[in-house]
Amino acid sequence: MSNLHKAVMQSLEERPQMEYFVIERSMVVNMLKGVEMSAQEAAWYLLGQEMLEKSHEVIYIPKFYPEERVHVRKTYKKSANIDASSTDVWNLNIIQRYDGRAPESEDLCLAGFARK
């Protein structure tokens, strides 16, 4: 629930005769008058959304020999439905996923595959 909605619901409990949109509009106007911010910033704040959004992601590609690479265990949820005698307890790293990629991804290089 957004901050604005919580505040409107609280005001509705205090003044049940007022309509939802009237309370909402008055709160927005008061907020914009009291704080110097753009309309977009006010909307993001009132809706409870993040102000920052990342435009790219960094993916680490290990360049070590296979026997020197660090392995990461599967989570408890993933390993719960694996047989107790199974040795498949490690997550696949990006190079292992690249080796087992689908035939339609054969023309992708490792960096292009990691990007997707």
Which of 33, 3, 15 minimizes the C-alpha distance to 23?
Answer: 15
Residues 78, 106 share a domain? yes
Q: Give yes or no for a contact between 69 and 93, defined as CB atoms under 8 angstroms apart.
A: yes
Residue 8 exposed, middle or buried by CB count within 10 Å (0-12, 13-18, 19+): buried
- Which residue segment(s) compose the domain that 104 sits in? 66-115
Q: Is 55 part of any domain?
A: no
Q: Is 56 part of any domain?
A: no
Residue 1 structure tokens: 């629930």
Which pLDDT tens digit goes with each residue over 10-53? 888 888 888 877 887 887 777 777 767 788 887 887 887 776 77
Residues 77, 41 share a domain? no
Which pLDDT tens digit goes with each residue over 59-110? 888 888 888 888 888 888 888 888 878 888 888 888 889 999 999 888 999 8
Residues 70, 43 share a domain? no
Q: Is 16 part of any domain?
A: yes
Instruction: Write down the pTM of the prediction.
Output: 0.47
